[in-house]
Amino acid sequence: MVAGAPEFLDWLARWYDALPVVSLTDMFPQPERGAILVEDLLIGFCREGALASPRIDALVPGAVRIIERARAAGVPRVVSSQDAHTPDTPEFEAFPPHCIRGTREADLVPEIAALQAQGAFTVIEKNSLSTSVTPAFERWLENNDDITHYLVIGDCTDLCIYQLSMFVRLWANATNRQDRTVVVAASVVDTYDLPVAAANGALPHPGDLLHVLFLYHMALNGIHVVQAINS
């Protein structure tokens, strides 16, 4: 038994249950200075292919709603950070091949693509879990330096969402940008589930536990973790 695990997991469950619901106005006090960062709402994670998962597909309606509501409130900018892998990426030694550039899996799900068509929607392609090693994203941050509030949505909580949220937080810390707020809402992020009993020799991935653990770890680092964003 890992020392301290039972009491920490008990505390963690209570922490998660008590996460606040905030309003859109709380999230974006100055809407024109807000942005939504969407991670990997792609066909290859939602609907087709080795990594598609019903838990991730279930995020799509909530993601569409929050983008539409935010835009209606005057939040103009949306960034989609998305896998567009080369076939030979070493990532495929850890995860089965997925979302290869130019294939259907690498396309946004149609519901999000419809929002892309409405404009103010920047696509950042990546060939790893982390948007941080994609120079185009740091350039976007610098070119949109008037943004103070970033809302991160999509998948997966413990993988790309963690990497993206932490990168924006650490970029702001490292560059002494005092006025930056990074928010992750538990209701619009999630991760895949592979229970120990179903892993068959692969590394298991208990989705509920890793979702909550990584939300906690983001909170530990100064990211604002909330349950949901109401109107």
- Binding residues for Zn ion, rule: CB under 5 A, are 83
Identify the H or E element spanning 23.
strand 21-23
Closest Cα to residue 172, out of 148, 143, 139, 140?
148
Of residues 83 and 107, the one with the C-beta less far from Zn ion: 83
Residue nearest to Zn ion (CB): 83
Of residues 27 and 38, the one with the C-beta less far from Zn ion: 38
Distance of closest approach, residue 37 Cβ to Zn ion, in angstroms: 17
Distance of closest approach, residue 51 Cβ to Zn ion, in angstroms: 8
Distance of closest approach, residue 128 Cβ to Zn ion, in angstroms: 7
Of residues 24 and 106, the one with the C-beta less far from Zn ion: 106
Of residues 83 and 190, the one with the C-beta less far from Zn ion: 83
Distance of closest approach, residue 98 Cβ to Zn ion, in angstroms: 6
Of residues 99 and 229, the one with the C-beta less far from Zn ion: 99
Confirm if 108 and 82 have CB atoms less than 8 A apart. yes
Q: How far apart, in Å, are the Cα atoms of 177 and each of 117, 158, 168, 169, 181?
A: 32, 25, 11, 10, 10
Distance of closest approach, residue 114 Cβ to Zn ion, in angstroms: 24
Confirm if 99 and 49 have CB atoms less than 8 A apart. yes
Residue whose entry in the numeric block shows the structure tokens 């792609």: 42
Task: Measure the CA–CA gap between 177 and 157, rounded to whole angstroms.
Answer: 25
Phi, psi of 218 (to 5 degrees): -65, -45
